Structure 1
Amino acid sequence: MEISDAFAEHRRLLFSTAYRMLGSVADAEDVLQDAWIKWDGVDRAGVANHRAYLVRTVTNLCLTRLTSARAQRETYVGPWLPEPLLTDAGGEAGTEPVPDASEKVERAESVSLAMLVVLESLSPLERAVFVLREAFGYSYAEIAEATERGEAAVRQAGHRARGHVQARRPRYDTDDDARREVTDKFLAACSGGDLNAVMELLAPDVTAWSDGGGKVTAARRPLHGVDNVARWLLGVLAKPGTRNVSFESVGINGQPGVLFTVDGHLIGALVVDTVDGLIQELRFQVNPDKFAGLTRRPA
């Protein structure tokens, strides 16, 4: 098999792994470029399992980036959110055989913005172990080889990560049609400036996150509560620069999402999490540096 064929065969898996570990489309693509360079220079006659070698390469490149990323997060302006990624409504096209319904829900959850935010609180090793184990079903022995750690250390990291995620795992409705219906009603209420209609769709303890990264105007802190969130939203939409905003329904990170454009130019993306038919979390990505995954190509 040619070098390019071997890399191309596993590229979707490699990108999916890197994206879940880093929460950044741009960083994941950079990691794949570095992995390609390493793969191009290796003596492939001594590589018995191309897939395992490439996953190990990508995993260790991600571990290095995660260490430096933690320091960068501390100086980030405002709330940090992962880079959104266009997908179909139920998650990525599979890198493995087509999953059944329950596996599809789990795969979609593992790439949701809410889950990627939870994974940000793990150590680099815990995050690597969780992603490889929970999202892709690797054994602890395989993960130990991929991370170049002892199997006992990997098991301990996996146990810590699983407990941490279970305690913070986001709860939201999994019916895509119901979430899309709520999202569409919400957008209609916002575009019509109907404060009462907006408030009726929000959960009592709703939270809105807005990531501008200091590049564009955005709320510097999370907004809590129906009244605060609703009035902030309608205030933003009333500003001159957003009065001609257009909405497009798309799949983002395995969930129904929305792209916002003004005169054909992308200005942001939104994903909402609903619980019992009400919006519990809103995540607005308006930092233009994080639009790399919002292309016409589903991931």
Structure 2
Amino acid sequence: MTRPVRAVIVGVDRRLAISPFVAKLSRKPFPRHWSYLLGEVAVVSFAILVATGIALTLFYEPSAATVTYEGGSDLHRGRDMPAAYASVVTLSNDVPGGMLLRRIHRIASHVFIGAILAHLVRVVATGAFRAPRELTHLIGVALLFVAVISGWTGHNLPFDVLAGTSLRIFYALVISIPWVGETLAQWLFAGEFPTGQMLPRMFALHALWAPLVITALLGLHLSLIARQQHTQRPRADLDGEQYTVGEPLWPWQAMTSTVLALGVAAVISLSAALLPYADLDLHAPYRIGEASNASQPDWFLFWVEGLLRLAPPLEFSALGPCGRRRS
């Protein structure tokens, strides 16, 4: 360590007294089981999402206005389409590395949600949701909820036929809420579907508010974990709620986490390079009244699709009328 760097570190420590906390944190035991690395996979995936998302926002145009595409794609050249769809086609075909960037962002989003879900399963299996860690668990559940919202909004930003079908279904679900559905739909969509303000609002939610909320929840979640110790499955010679057996955070777990981060980034990048994923040529731009038979939600929203298919076609009124009657 050079003398100027050492002087800066000593000066900061003299004013903030962080060395005792850092020393305690470095000795924090980390369980050896692989399932305890799922949370770190989620953190690495979120970092990749933020980095690639910042680059993607430089090329995306959140507008449903009709434009004529004149870019490098022979399939779409000369066709009228929404400006949002045209900007994504331009990014994919005319920007060097644009398609790879889109695929990395999309795959990282699935890894992020899947890692959070698997991490929550591990928390339930080890009993880490009980006191005094119930707040940490509830923050993790909130993270999953916000991550699903972020994934769904990002899925709809290209405004292809798949996104249009998804938005139309969501609008129908919102407006069907008794008493408050129409007001809530007005807040979210700025009018009846489809509206010109729909994409800008969704873009702001996906690119600004969701990342800010996820960052705040993630920081609070990690802070609570730093103050509390991990839990382990109990065994005959170990009370998993009171004691943790594992490697210290520094240097062994830090090296493991570094290798894990590089491995996750490599797998996501290699998958994006080899798999034909997030290809807009498979879905035409959205037009009112059009829907594809292949319109299926992402895997983390299959349960919504299943509930809609199981719901019976019934309509009832309770405590007075809550909507317009069908003619």
Q: Which has the larger radius of gyration?
A: 2
Q: Which has the higher strand share?
A: 1
TM-score w.r.t. length of structure 2: 0.24
- Greater relative CO, 1 or 2 (CA 8 Å, sep 6+): 2
Q: Which has the higher helix share?
A: 2
TM-score w.r.t. length of structure 1: 0.26
